[in-house]
Structure 1
């Protein structure tokens, strides 16, 4: 019964973190340090780094699943902890970038911050594809927070039957978020100023 109490102990924390992270990110996403009087340069070097971090996360997740399927639990644990650390690093870089840089409009070929009729016509339906990928990426990145935390706590509490059940849901969603993070970057990168 000790294992179950560990899950119970962390349940309120998981709920709190699952709410606080998206709310804080949403608030910080709208805060521009220059508008607050800080003289900071845009951290325009970050998007390729955090996109790479997403790509590495995807690889680490696949390696972690391969490790557990081969019975290497210790390697699986280390890889999953590393994947969580990578996701946290991504989050910090993502927020830092958006607090120091203006948003980029998909299709803004001349980098003036305005998507005019000609640019919109040139990009066509690819803009819709981009937004579908982006919106599902964002929504699932919020949903993945409690899933990862619950999955992790179940492993820590050695409730492996319950861990496996939720991991079968968590893994594909987390992998989708990591892969689409890279795709979103590749699609929008030509429009960075």
Structure 2
């Protein structure tokens, strides 16, 4: 059971979580539409940030295994690493889109519908997962372990879905990069 002091410590972060959960998607959406003139397109970034997504998925699974085996310190380090990877991914993703034109998917038929389904759910879930990750992390660092476990059961599959579908989207669109 979490103590009332732990819950109060957690509540101190709530405003920051709300601000970041709104600010991150809004800033990304705005920057997505900004093109930096006279800059060489960063076309080398998509395979790198797709690899970061794959590594994030692996780290999330390893963190899950670590906590199942009661390796709490390893779990904490892996989860912090997953957050760092996600921040690095986001920076590269935004940098690519600020310097390069969007790539159009060239497939057709059922493959096209599958691609757009995966892309749409990936985008929606990547926005949705932000507050979940932040709340889960705050509950861990404020020692609200029971509350942390409760939300982690939701956060883990959402975050893993975002990481894995990011790789799938890259694999499917990569033949159409110019």
TM tier, smaller = over 0.9
Aligned to 2:46: 47
Aligned to 2:34: 31
The separation in 2 between residues aligned to 1:64 and 1:146, in whole angstroms, is 19
Aligned to 2:62: 63
Which runs of 5 or more structure 2 residues have no equivalent in the other structure?
A: none
Moved segments of 4+, more than 3 Å: none
The separation in 1 between residues aligned to 2:36 and 2:115, in whole angstroms, is 28
Aligned to 1:75: 74
- Which SS does the other structure have where 1:158 is aligned? coil
Deviation at 1:41, TM superposition (A): 0.3
Deviation at 1:6, TM superposition (A): 1.4
The separation in 2 between residues aligned to 1:54 and 1:73, in whole angstroms, is 23
The separation in 1 between residues aligned to 2:18 and 2:86, in whole angstroms, is 18
The separation in 2 between residues aligned to 1:151 and 1:94, in whole angstroms, is 24
Deviation at 1:4, TM superposition (A): 1.0
Deviation at 1:124, TM superposition (A): 1.9
The separation in 2 between residues aligned to 1:179 and 1:154, in whole angstroms, is 25
How does the TM-score come out when normalised to structure 2?
0.97
Which runs of 5 or more structure 1 residues have no equivalent in the other structure?
A: 108-119
How does the TM-score come out when normalised to structure 1?
0.89
- Which SS does the other structure have where 2:41 is aligned? coil
CA RMSD, aligned part only?
0.7
Structure with larger RCO (C-alpha < 8 A, sep 6+): 2
The separation in 1 between residues aligned to 2:112 and 2:32, in whole angstroms, is 22
Aligned to 2:130: 145
Matches within 5 A, 1:1-193: 1-34=4-37, 39-107=38-106, 123-193=108-178
Aligned to 1:115: none
Deviation at 1:125, TM superposition (A): 2.1
The separation in 1 between residues aligned to 2:72 and 2:113, in whole angstroms, is 42
Larger Rg belongs to: 1
